[in-house]
Amino acid sequence: MRLIAAVLGLVSLFFGFYTLRLLLVTHGLQHTRPGGQGAFIGAVVFPLLAIGCGWASVACWRRASRHATQTGAV
């Protein structure tokens, strides 16, 4: 379960980084290409994916910790 939590954490970091990159490259979405509506979609979807994967990562990590405590394993 902790492996899944680590992978989800990395995915969350990736989408967080990509959100920042998108905002930097487009100068806060002020300079997009003609027909570049994908930047606006990405500005909404990427942070949501980062938050969702981060939340799932924490939930998996806590579940693994709780399971280890109940079974006596470390």
Q: Per-residue pLDDT for 70 more than 90?
A: no
Task: Please report, for the chain, the start and end positions of each structural domain, with discontinuous segments joined by +.
Answer: 2-71
CA 60 – CA 7 distance, rounded (Å) = 10
Q: Is 31 left (phi over 0), alpha (psi -120 to 50) or beta?
A: beta
CA 45 – CA 4 distance, rounded (Å) = 22
Q: Per-residue pLDDT for 26 more than 60?
A: yes
- Give the pLDDT of residue 36: 85
pTM score of the predicted model: 0.83
Mean pLDDT score of the chain, rounded to an integer?
92
